[in-house]
Amino acid sequence: MQTEKQSSDDAFKTGVNKVVHNIPHDYELSKMSFVELAIELASSKKDSPKFIVFEREIKKHIAKDQAKINRGNIILGACIGLVGVFLGAWLKESPPTRQVAPSNTVQQYKNIKLPVADVEPKPTATNP
């Protein structure tokens, strides 16, 4: 003999609960438009099984719409990243630029040895 819990679990698995609570099957839910889902959601009592199912389906519709909107931005970001990678590799492999030699004045100052004056210590001052 089945308990009430087992019979309700079996009914849920077979979809009998969907008929009892007037909930369309998954295929029908996925084919409904956003407006139809919103109307059904508004007509159902809050936190009822019907409300929860329609609310979840609306969230799935919103997620699909957001994914469609962001697809172009994702592709654009990936393309920019690839361009950056190839540009970086090309710049790394390109021949080095011509370096400017230091001016003559800098080289002359490096080679000059200036005489350093000898410093004699001064006598300490005394107070009279």
Domain assignment of residue 27, yes or no: yes
Residue 25 counted as domain residue: yes
- DSSP per position, 31-94: HS-HHHHHHHHHHSPTTSHHHHHHHHHHHHHHHHHHHHHHHHHHHHHHHHHHHHHHHHHHHHHS
Whether 110 is in a domain gets the answer no
The answer to whether position 118 is within a domain reads no
Q: How many domains does the chain have?
A: 1
Asked if the structure places residue 66 within a domain, the reply is yes
pLDDT tens-digit profile of 45-101?
A: 888 888 888 899 899 999 988 989 999 999 999 999 999 999 998 888 877 666 666
- What's the whole-number average pLDDT of the chain? 76
Q: How confident is the model at residue 12 (pLDDT cuts 50, 70, 90)?
A: low
Q: Is 112 within the bounds of a domain?
A: no
pTM: 0.48
Rama region for 15: left / alpha / beta (φ>0; ψ in -120 to 50; rest): left
Q: Does residue 76 fall inside a structural domain?
A: yes
Asked if residue 1 has pLDDT above 90, the reply is: no
- Select from 36, 35, 14, 34 the least CA-distant residue to 25: 14
Residue 30 CA neighbour count, 13 Å, CB half: 4
Say if CB 58 and CB 34 are below 8 A apart: yes
Q: What residue numbers bound the domain in which 29 lies?
A: 10-95
